[in-house]
Structure 1
Amino acid sequence: MAFTIALALLTLIALYALKVYRQFSRNLAAAKASGIKYMTVPFFLTNRYYQLSCIIIIPLMRRLPKSWTEPWFDLTLDWGWARRYEPFKRFGADTFITVTPERNVLYTADADVICQITNRRNDFPKALEVYESLKIYGNNVITSEGHQWRHHRKITSPPFSEKNNHLVFAETLGQSQGMVDSWMDGNTERSKTIHTVADDTMRLSLHVISRGGFGVKLEWPGKGKVTENGLVKGGHDGASSDSVSKGHTMSYTDALGLLLHNMLAILIIPKIILKRLPFEWARLAYTSYVEWGNYMNEMFQSKKSAILEGREGDNLDLMVAMIKGAGITKESAANGQTPAQTLTDDEILGNAFVFILAGHETAANSVHFCLALLAMNITSQRHLQRDLDDIFQGRPVSQWDYDQDVPKLFGGMAGAVMNEELRLVAPIVGIPKSTAKGSPQPLNVRGKKCTVPENVYIQLMSPAVHRNPNHWPTGPPADPENPAHPLSNTDNDLEEFKPERWLLDSDAKNAASMPDHDGDAEASSLGVNTAPDTSAALYRPPKGAYIPFSEGYRSCIGRRFAQVQILAALALIFSQYSVELSVDTYASEEEVEKMSEKEKRGVWEKAKAEVERQMRDDMGSVITLQLRKGSIGLRFVKRGNERFDWK
């Protein structure tokens, strides 16, 4: 009996090995025939079983002789952020394929190839399997393709307009002031060390998108009416306060905050299991998932009832726009029948979820990293402050004007800082595309006619194309002996934060205007903003070389929303304050006060080196790229009271 079982197991193993070998042979033959450079690797990076077993497999592979693993080992890891442009330079190709026993993967850092892929959206659809987990509340514009995507996009696009951007600008200014006031905590000159900047910018962005996207006004803690439990109450629609609404066990902001904090567990672990795990984090994760869904459903039902009763609501409100776009109107219900919806209730909630999730993380991370990068680059920070002084001419914030000021911000040093931060820390490391089964696609690679095989998983590598010296003007590294990255672009400055690289003419911002659509009628009908990502007053890289919001028809629907929010936050903060690195780890405040300029520079350099290490080694992606370990300590001081101020 034991012999029979062993023989059966060996037979199954042999058959499985034969299947793997045959699939690998087919994949290898397809890569050879493609005309594109390729490398064989033993594992398919996005295979969940491989990802789960990495904790065992990777240490074992590290023990093998380097001569066995050197050509391919790093490509079995999540290498996009860690290695950036280095693999492309090493292989001598800006586009290459990795051949695995499961599926081939095409990586590219070539702007022209990226344009071909993004513009031919039917030939190179999104790799939807990557987004399956984002359907936790329902299908949505991110998790759909083809005619279904067109339908979602057309309905969800109206709120993302210039009219709504006026509201985003004003709301960001008010919320940013609340954030800064919380940092200063009553001190008029300088703050203590703030270790919650990442969390605070997340709250800032959540408040802005809640107001600009859903008509929900959220007050910054410490403002508005304080309840018995010390939480702030304000707003409307039952989802607008830090207090716990009737019928709930969490506040709206706590539910969303915990939902985002535990997103990885919520996306990966089946809800029926998550609900029963005997851990506090699991309980909070599951409760936040249920609670935030209930809040959004209550908002949906409230606004739906109002529309059916003839109280139309504001079309700038994303929820209202989706309800009306789905065919739910007073007229449609006048005959007493239930309106036929073109978006289901779940799809409306699904879209609300992904807009909150993706929209607020992108802007929040950008503001956070702009603050850290400017704290490490004092000359650029002073340049930004001088530019803001020139734009606002001493006007109080209450007199700032979207039409007058935002184009100047977009085309000046604030826009350059934003663009450079998004170049260095793009929200998505690898933008996923694919070729369908049975549908190989022609592709021109550096003037050579090639063929992308069928069923290929494609990654548009934003950290690499943003640092590709074939597409960007370069200068020498600031310190050749200590390059900004140990592997990537060690012979140029593309790993360094230099917003000045975007400036063409210091006075150009005064005549700048917001980028406009290029006249694509089909794109306009779908609400796709085909305007460039950067101001005409600044350097414009080749099309496809700068993709922080992706490219083409599937580019981010809320990119202008995010850009306006980032610019407004930077303008508010740096028109009044300077940001400095915390040196608490190396010296107390009293010790710093007694130091010479040379000694101050010494402790500041140590703090700078640690933040650079954090932004290189402690970053990771769940949805967007952000700091995953520790925090960056920053201090905010009223302008003129800086402790560290040198070129």
Structure 2
Amino acid sequence: MFSTVALALLVLFALYALKIYTQFARNLAAAKNSGIPYVIVPFYQSNRFWLLAQIIVEPVVRKLRISSWFDLSFIEWGWHMRYEPFKRFGTDTFLTVSPERNQLYTADADVISQITTRRNDFPKPLEVYESIKIYGNNVVTSEGQLWRHHRKITSPPFSEKNNHLVWTETLELCQAMVNRWFDGDTGKTESKTIFTLADDAMRLSLYVISRAGFGVHLQWPGTEGDHRNGHVKTEEESTAKSPEIAQGHTMSYTDALGSLLHNTLWVLLVPRFLLKHLPFQTTKQAYLAFIEWGKYMDEMFQEKKAAILKGEEGDTLDLMIALVKGAGTTKESSTGKEPPIQTLTDQEIIGNAFIFILAGHETTANSIHFCLVFLAMNIAAQRHLQADLDEIFKGRPVNESDYEAIVPKLFGSMAGAVLNEELRLVAPVVSIPKSTTKDSPQNIEIGGKTCTVPADCYIVLMTAAVHRNPNHWPTGPPENPEKPTHPLSNLDNDLEEFKPERWILDSEAKSTASMPNQETDMEASHLGVNTAADTSAALYRPPKGAYIPFSEGYRSCIGRRFAQVEILAVLAFIFSQYSVELTVDAYASDEEVEKMDDQAKFEIWNKARDEVNRQMNEDMGSIITLQLRKGAVGLRFVKRGKERFDFNTK
């Protein structure tokens, strides 16, 4: 009996080994025939079992700083190694061959441009996005004709008119946030150290998209009313969601949304039936938030639908209004005078609402956070930014400025350069997935040579690497060759360093700068796709495909202008009034700093800078977006003119 079982197991193992060998031989043959350089790796990086093993294996490999073919099996090598593997292999595009599947990695701007332009040949691998369909299909999780349908419906609210609302709402919330930091005493208190900046940026961005995207005012904790000119909103003026629990709910709207976003991973990865019954407090909270926020969204949907049927739709900038109309709900269609033109299911409406809340707040919040961190680490760049802001606003309060006159100038000034440089170094996602379909290899030009991307190939546009590819960016020598910013990547140039000045072509161009023009593309206009450049014409324009923080082509981020305007508003508001410094509390007290000369101050400031740089290299990681995954960066906000560390660090 034992020998029979052993023989059966041996046969099964042999069959499994044969299957693995056959798959590997097929993948290797496809790689050899492609004309693309390739590397053999032991594991397909997205294999479920290997994903679990990486949790233990990868930290060890990274700590030992092993740089080999093996590390290309890790899911996050794109962030931890950046451009180094491409330089090591002497090519900006290569394949990895594993028994399970071939993968193509590229940091070549021209190859990226070809792939994003030929969207039918290189579609999104939808299996990657299955987890974010928790409420229903949406514009991110669809492809082909279905995607066109979702895109056309969801794009109208993302307009310049809505961006104006983003600007004013961001400034109002910035004021509330700063008031809260200084306990309402912004006139007397000269400085304050903040360790909650990442969380506060998340809150600010979430509140902005709630207002500008859904018409929902959320009040900053600890504040009352509207801070603009001392005005307090009446009940009729405000659509604020009550902090109290609404009838029929067990959580308030704010708590449900905050808890859902905080516990998103549980909701994304654990099947709902299992999540409901797991005996852990975190999973119970995640499931409850998922149910509660879904109910709130459904109620909002029904309210908007009823308003449209009565001809009382109100704020046409509202994303939910656009979604309901996209589902075919109009006053005319309800009476049978007109047939519905487009349809979305109730689940697709809620699905799109969720994806815009999820993607629209976290990515922007991270950029706000890291802009402030980078500027605290680079005093000269911060002073340059403040000088530009002084010139643009000429002493007028930022929240009293004219949007149409001011924002184009910010976009083409040091503020725009800071935004662009932060997104170059810390794009929202480290890589952008594409694919070829089964039985459909695709020809592509690589370095003037026609190559073939194998069928069923998982393609990765390496954002972090192409943003650091010295073939596409102006470079200079590293600031300190003896102490490189990154231990592996670009050791002989400054592309790992935050230098917004690399974007400045003409320091006077900001005075006549305008927003980037939309390209003439009838299909893009029909779908609501903004084909204008990501950067101002007054600044450096990288080659097409070299700068992809919002992706590129028709599948580029629908809310990129929304995000850019929000970040520019934060930069303008804060740095017109404050300077931001690294906290040195771990090295010296305020009293000790006061007694130091400039050299001593520089030495402790440099220690703080080294620690933040270590955090940016070692403590960052991606789950949905790239952000600091452990610890916090403490920043000190100081009234301008009261700076403690005001020396040229270059």
TM-score, normalised on structure 2? 0.95
Give the aligned partner of residue 165 of structure 2: 167
Structure 1 residue 26, shift from structure 2 partner = 0.3
- Are the counterparts in 1 of residues 92 and 106 from structure 2 also a CA contact under 8 Å? yes
Given the superposition, is the C-alpha separation of residues 237 and 50 from structure 1 closer, same or farther in structure 2, using an over 3 Å criterion? Answer: farther
- Are the counterparts in 2 of residues 239 and 299 from structure 1 also a CA contact under 8 Å? no
Query: In structure 2, what is the Cα distance between the partners aligned to 1:398 and 1:562?
Result: 18
Structure 1 residue 250, shift from structure 2 partner = 2.2
Q: What are the residue-to-residue correspondences of 1:399-418 with 2, within 5 Å?
A: 399-418=400-419
Give the aligned partner of residue 41 of structure 1: 41
Give the aligned partner of residue 641 of structure 1: 642
Given the superposition, is the C-alpha separation of residues 63 and 480 from structure 1 closer, same or farther in structure 2, using an over 3 Å criterion? Answer: closer
Structure 1 residue 47, shift from structure 2 partner = 1.5
Given the superposition, is the C-alpha separation of residues 234 and 136 from structure 1 closer, same or farther in structure 2, using an over 3 Å criterion? Answer: farther
Structure 1 residue 77, shift from structure 2 partner = 4.4
Identical amino acids, percent of aligned pairs: 68
Structure 1 residue 57, shift from structure 2 partner = 5.4
Given the superposition, is the C-alpha separation of residues 587 and 248 from structure 1 closer, same or farther in structure 2, using an over 3 Å criterion? Answer: farther
Query: In structure 2, what is the Cα distance between the partners aligned to 1:495 and 1:63?
Result: 20
Give the aligned partner of residue 266 of structure 1: 267
SS at the partner of 1:96? Answer: strand
> Residue type of the partner of 2:39?
M
SS at the partner of 2:637? Answer: strand
> Residue type of the partner of 1:14?
A
Query: In structure 2, what is the Cα distance between the partners aligned to 1:424 and 1:60?
Result: 25
Give the aligned partner of residue 216 of structure 1: 216
Unpaired runs of at least 5, structure 1: 227-231
Given the superposition, is the C-alpha separation of residues 367 and 270 from structure 1 closer, same or farther in structure 2, using an over 3 Å criterion? Answer: same
Give the aligned partner of residue 148 of structure 1: 146
User: Does 1:134 find its partner at 2:132?
Assistant: yes
Given the superposition, is the C-alpha separation of residues 406 and 61 from structure 1 closer, same or farther in structure 2, using an over 3 Å criterion? Answer: closer
Query: In structure 2, what is the Cα distance between the partners aligned to 1:335 and 1:455?
Result: 47
> Residue type of the partner of 1:444?
E
- Are the counterparts in 2 of residues 328 and 340 from structure 1 also a CA contact under 8 Å? no
> Residue type of the partner of 2:34?
S
Task: Give the stretch that moved more between structures: 610-619 or 265-274.
Answer: 265-274
Query: In structure 2, what is the Cα distance between the partners aligned to 1:125 and 1:184?
Result: 49
Give the aligned partner of residue 230 of structure 2: none
> Residue type of the partner of 2:412?
G
SS at the partner of 1:579? Answer: strand
Given the superposition, is the C-alpha separation of residues 57 and 499 from structure 1 closer, same or farther in structure 2, using an over 3 Å criterion? Answer: closer
Q: What are the residue-to-residue correspondences of 1:185-584 with 2, within 5 Å?
A: 185=183, 186-187=185-186, 188-224=188-224, 240-335=241-336, 342-584=343-585
Given the superposition, is the C-alpha separation of residues 63 and 529 from structure 1 closer, same or farther in structure 2, using an over 3 Å criterion? Answer: closer
Query: In structure 1, what is the Cα distance between the partners aligned to 2:200 and 2:236?
Result: 20
Query: In structure 2, what is the Cα distance between the partners aligned to 1:55 and 1:427?
Result: 22
Structure 1 residue 351, shift from structure 2 partner = 0.5
Structure 1 residue 128, shift from structure 2 partner = 0.9
Give deviations 1:302-339, integer Å, cap 9, x for gaps: 11111112212322100001111221111111149996
Given the superposition, is the C-alpha separation of residues 20 and 237 from structure 1 closer, same or farther in structure 2, using an over 3 Å criterion? Answer: farther
Query: In structure 2, what is the Cα distance between the partners aligned to 1:451 and 1:361?
Result: 37
> Residue type of the partner of 2:209?
I
Give the aligned partner of residue 229 of structure 2: none
Give deviations 1:142-164, integer Å, cap 9, x for gaps: 00000000000000000001111
Structure 1 residue 251, shift from structure 2 partner = 2.3
Query: In structure 1, what is the Cα distance between the partners aligned to 2:310 and 2:141?
Result: 32
Query: In structure 1, what is the Cα distance between the partners aligned to 2:594 and 2:549?
Result: 41
Query: In structure 2, what is the Cα distance between the partners aligned to 1:441 and 1:300?
Result: 43
Given the superposition, is the C-alpha separation of residues 595 and 305 from structure 1 closer, same or farther in structure 2, using an over 3 Å criterion? Answer: same
SS at the partner of 1:636? Answer: strand
Give deviations 1:124-175, integer Å, cap 9, x for gaps: 0011111110100100000000000000000000000111111111111111
Cα RMSD of the aligned pairs, angstroms, is: 2.2
SS at the partner of 2:335? Answer: coil
- Are the counterparts in 2 of residues 82 and 616 from structure 1 also a CA contact under 8 Å? yes
Query: In structure 1, what is the Cα distance between the partners aligned to 2:418 and 2:58?
Result: 38
Structure 1 residue 645, shift from structure 2 partner = 0.8
Query: In structure 2, what is the Cα distance between the partners aligned to 1:399 and 1:485?
Result: 42
Give the aligned partner of residue 108 of structure 1: 106
- Are the counterparts in 1 of residues 43 and 73 from structure 2 also a CA contact under 8 Å? no
Given the superposition, is the C-alpha separation of residues 63 and 400 from structure 1 closer, same or farther in structure 2, using an over 3 Å criterion? Answer: closer
Given the superposition, is the C-alpha separation of residues 640 and 329 from structure 1 closer, same or farther in structure 2, using an over 3 Å criterion? Answer: same
Given the superposition, is the C-alpha separation of residues 646 and 61 from structure 1 closer, same or farther in structure 2, using an over 3 Å criterion? Answer: closer
Query: In structure 2, what is the Cα distance between the partners aligned to 1:516 and 1:268?
Result: 41
- Are the counterparts in 2 of residues 219 and 233 from structure 1 also a CA contact under 8 Å? no
Task: Give the stretch that moved more between structures: 332-341 or 245-254.
Answer: 332-341
Number of aligned residue pairs: give it: 640
> Residue type of the partner of 2:534?
D
Given the superposition, is the C-alpha separation of residues 239 and 265 from structure 1 closer, same or farther in structure 2, using an over 3 Å criterion? Answer: farther
Query: In structure 1, what is the Cα distance between the partners aligned to 2:125 and 2:516?
Result: 30
Give the aligned partner of residue 89 of structure 2: 91
Query: In structure 2, what is the Cα distance between the partners aligned to 1:122 and 1:176?
Result: 42
Given the superposition, is the C-alpha separation of residues 634 and 45 from structure 1 closer, same or farther in structure 2, using an over 3 Å criterion? Answer: same
> Residue type of the partner of 2:313?
E
SS at the partner of 2:581? Answer: strand
Query: In structure 2, what is the Cα distance between the partners aligned to 1:56 and 1:416?
Result: 39
Query: In structure 1, what is the Cα distance between the partners aligned to 2:319 and 2:345?
Result: 15
> Residue type of the partner of 1:354?
I
TM-score, normalised on structure 1? 0.95
Task: Give the stretch that moved more between structures: 254-263 or 324-333.
Answer: 254-263
Query: In structure 2, what is the Cα distance between the partners aligned to 1:551 and 1:586?
Result: 44
Given the superposition, is the C-alpha separation of residues 337 and 154 from structure 1 closer, same or farther in structure 2, using an over 3 Å criterion? Answer: closer
Query: In structure 1, what is the Cα distance between the partners aligned to 2:63 and 2:213?
Result: 51
Query: In structure 2, what is the Cα distance between the partners aligned to 1:277 and 1:149?
Result: 35
Task: Give the stretch that moved more between structures: 92-101 or 172-181.
Answer: 172-181
Give the aligned partner of residue 627 of structure 2: 626
Query: In structure 1, what is the Cα distance between the partners aligned to 2:59 and 2:512?
Result: 57
